[in-house]
Structure 1
């Protein structure tokens, strides 16, 4: 597992804390969950291939 520091604006951190509490998850787990959803959406939009989207 890779660890790295992430800087967040105060308002985004507050939103993440609130959503994590609502979903009964840690902030870390909430971020992972949201990233997985976002990436799945991107993959669906791009035809679910293994290559990253080109802009």
Structure 2
């Protein structure tokens, strides 16, 4: 597993933390799920454009 340092503006960090809490996840788990979804969506778009 890789570690990534991510710098977020304070307001965005608070919004992300609140969204993760509302989803009953840690902030890290919530961010991982968003990155997975974004990658999958990008792959689907690439296949559709081909």
When normalised by structure 1's length, the TM-score is 0.77
Matched ranges for 1:14-53 at <5 A: 14-47=14-47
Aligned-CA RMSD value: 1.3
Aligned residues: 48
Could you list the runs of 4 or more consecutive aligned residues of structure 1 that deviate by over 4 angstroms after TM superposition? none
Compare the two structures and name the one with the higher helix fraction: 2
TM-score (norm 2): 0.84
5+ long unaligned stretches in structure 2:
none
Deviation, structure 1 residue 11: 1.6
Give the secondary structure class of the aligned counterpart of 2:8: coil
Give 5+ residue unaligned stretches, structure 1: 49-55
